[in-house]
Structure 1
């Protein structure tokens, strides 16, 4: 039971601590002796050695944990509210694609494989927006803990923030001026922190999770078995 409580916290620490290890000053590429705010992008950790190895390992671990998060939440919905299985399956698809996009971004060096790196990051950020929307909708429809009256407004706020910041980050990242690129780096970190806080709220759901729910997801329910034996 304790594992499901600390799971989102572990994901937060793995995703944030490792990517903050930045070297070579490649996040401040403009020749400015003053006025450089020294805020790295998350991707800057994966450009040069030796921190790029830690970056790759961190993103891989974060992607795997996020994938488990998606599967566990889907299993919880299927066990408690099977009538909303279709909505939960759509959420699971977006979550899996987001995890794969993050995995591609983490394993493609932005210096040598910039296109797949940024493409994977873009797919991940976009799918995460839809994923948070669907999970917030499921919070409104499904009573899993009895604390939905508190969790639902918090997740609505987090989802709105995630969408707004994603749009701002996308617009600013496409600019050429350093000032806008610096702001995009700030928004990128805000995206990551907001997502981790969103997932951290599911520690409440994990208190009510059991391994039976996951095993039941892998086996056919009685109503799904054929009535006539072959």
Structure 2
């Protein structure tokens, strides 16, 4: 048996190797390296944006993610089934509801003869937001990261632009004190959405766990704030009728004006009809 400082050669009996003599080579490893081998080494620290494993034993101890001290990003909540199935379902249904709400709001403004480029732009941004939600919901971040981030990059800014434009429509179209109060409430919600989305994007690009935690919190606040904003549309939808959807899909030139809000659905006098064509 010949050996050097780091490598030794062990000659084995030829009966073990019918095709020829065999040599077994091995490299010496110091005891320190053996004790610190990968077999007994602790698992590397989990990055903040890494999804929680479905098996707690794979994490090397108790489950430490998805807690108040480690709030996950929304996308990380739909990585593994069955959560991923629910994540896709919520994304698809939510996108359909967003598109339907935008279409009803667009038709309602047409009924009030308040057609403008802002109303059309609001419809476009709302439908763009819905398209982004479909991409986000069906392409999970751990399996199609590029498509998921593209969808999020479309859905979040489009949703923010939608609420800002609708604040303008609500403020300029207010005809009663209740309408003006609702407009002010939406302006506050839009300001919160703007601040949280900007902070979430700024914190997300950093690798610090504290900033990543802040990005996740801001993302959750942004989404909840947008949902509350959509909930305020029940004020206008009290005056929605079957003619509203018809007005959005096939606007008529001789349409009477309706007041916004659920308190009155009567038509106004001295309302000049105008011809409106959808883009």
TM-score, reference length from structure 2: 0.66
Preserved contact between residue 77 and residue 85 of structure 1 (Cα < 8 Å): no
Name the structure 2 match of 1:64.
96
Residue ranges of structure 2 left out of the alignment (5+ in a row): 1-50, 254-273
Greater C-alpha Rg:
2
SS at the partner of 2:80?
coil
State the Cα distance separating 1:203 from its structure 2 match.
Answer: 0.7
Name the structure 2 match of 1:136.
167
Q: Does 1:170 align with 2:204?
A: no
Q: Hey, what's the Cα distance between the residues in 1 that align with 2:233 and 2:190?
A: 14
Q: Alignment partner for residue 221 of structure 1, among 222, 235, 252?
A: 252
Q: Hey, what's the Cα distance between the residues in 1 that align with 2:206 and 2:143?
A: 21
Name the structure 1 match of 2:212.
181
State the Cα distance separating 1:193 from its structure 2 match.
Answer: 0.5
Q: Hey, what's the Cα distance between the residues in 1 that align with 2:176 and 2:246?
A: 20
Higher normalized helix content (fraction of residues): 1
Q: Hey, what's the Cα distance between the residues in 1 that align with 2:123 and 2:176?
A: 20
Name the structure 2 match of 1:192.
223
Name the structure 1 match of 2:111.
79
Q: Alignment partner for residue 53 of structure 2, among 24, 45, 52?
A: 24
Name the structure 1 match of 2:80.
48
CA RMSD of aligned residues (A): 2.5
Preserved contact between residue 122 and residue 166 of structure 2 (Cα < 8 Å): yes
TM-score, reference length from structure 1: 0.79
State the Cα distance separating 1:112 from its structure 2 match.
Answer: 1.5
**C-alpha distance 25-60 of structure 1, shift in aligned 2 (>3 A):** same
Q: Hey, what's the Cα distance between the residues in 2 that align with 1:144 and 1:212?
A: 21
Preserved contact between residue 104 and residue 248 of structure 2 (Cα < 8 Å): no
Q: Does 1:117 align with 2:168?
A: no
Higher normalized strand content (fraction of residues): 2
Q: Alignment partner for residue 182 of structure 2, among 138, 151, 155?
A: 151
Preserved contact between residue 101 and residue 124 of structure 1 (Cα < 8 Å): yes
**C-alpha distance 146-205 of structure 1, shift in aligned 2 (>3 A):** farther
Aligned length, in residue pairs = 200
Q: Alignment partner for residue 105 of structure 1, among 133, 136, 141?
A: 136
Q: Hey, what's the Cα distance between the residues in 2 that align with 1:80 and 1:63?
A: 26
